[in-house]
Amino acid sequence: MIKSSRVCLKYPEGTIALKNIDLRIEPGELVYITGPSGSGKTSLLKLFMGDEYPTAGVLEVLKQPIVRGQAAGIRKLRRLIGPVFQEFRLIKGRTAMENVMLGMRFLDVPNGSMKENAGNALAKVGLAQKAFSLIEHMSWGECQRVAIARAIARKPALIIADEPTGNLDKDNAVRILELLKSFKDRETTVIVTTHATHLIRDEKDFRHIHMNNGNMEWERLG
């Protein structure tokens, strides 16, 4: 699923965000990434989605090498990923349903199935009754669930969620992690960054990467 060997990421203005990242993530895994602000969590996810390229080392996601000059391959890879961004990236002036459907653009889903997938995804995140509400009329937590619905409606092989527990109280954070976890299955890998290390301590069947100043290590919990 994801193979990374000595991957580094240095941004053009000089910040070294990731240092010698070696990892292997298998299909169907649940992986949490924790670490302080600025430690490289979002940068790592950007590499997985082909939004940035390694400046050293070798990275492959779903067999697609993440390197410059592979635009077509990387576009194809992105169709297999359901991203939930730190800032959601929902479109105002559109309903929850429309936003979820916009997430399926470029996926070759027939129009009829698109509506059905979107409706099902909104139901899975508990927002069936808000499907036709405008984004600007929804609460922060609801917007977050719309963003998750948009990701899962794509029926992705890889779900990537960046800090979905930020701004949530403990109960809601636990609920969101449970929800994301529920989408993991044999073919679907789920990768979630979170500041809330204490919330994942009691969970089972996951692996945990801790980031620190661009370095990563696998953590053992419990």
Ligand X SMILES: Nc1ncnc2c1ncn2[C@@H]1O[C@H](COP(=O)(O)OP(=O)(O)OP(=O)(O)O)[C@@H](O)[C@H]1O
In the complex, the smallest distance separating the C-beta of residue 13 from ligand X, rounded to whole angstroms, is 5
Q: Is 194 in the site for Mg ion (CB under 5 A)?
A: no
Residues from 28 through 87 that contact Mg ion (CB under 5 A): 41-42
Question: Which C-beta is closer to ligand X: that of 44 or that of 118?
Answer: 44
Return the residue nearest Mg ion (CB atom). Answer: 42
Among 30, 41, 85, 200, binds ligand X (CB under 6 A): 41
Token duo for residue 144: 């977050």
Q: Show contacts with ligand X in window 146-165 (CB under 6 A).
A: 163
Q: Scan residues 76-115 and list those touching ligand X (CB under 6 A).
A: none
User: How far apart (Å, rounded) are the C-alpha atoms in residues 22 and 215?
Assistant: 10
Rounded distance between C-alpha atoms, residue 59 and residue 47, angstroms: 8
Q: How many residues bind ligand X (CB under 6 A)?
A: 13
Query: Phi first, then psi: what are they for 12, rounded to 5°?
Result: -55, -35
- Helices 111-124, 140-153: axis angle to 10 degrees equals 130
Residue 49 or 102 having the CB closest to ligand X: 49
Q: Which residues does 133 contact at the CB level (< 8 Å), separation at least 6? A: 95, 96
Q: What does each C-alpha distance from 102 to 5, 73, 99, 191, 195 come to in angstroms?
A: 34, 21, 5, 22, 29
CA 200 to chain centre: 17
Q: Are 5 and 22 in contact (CB under 8 A)?
A: yes
Single out the residue of 4, 34, 43, 188 in contact with ligand X (rule: CB under 6 A): 43
Site string for ligand X, 6-35 (x = CB under 6 A): -----x-x-x-x-----------------x
Name the site residues for Mg ion (rule: CB under 5 A): 41-42
Name the site residues for ligand X (rule: CB under 6 A): 11, 13, 15, 17, 35, 37-43, 163
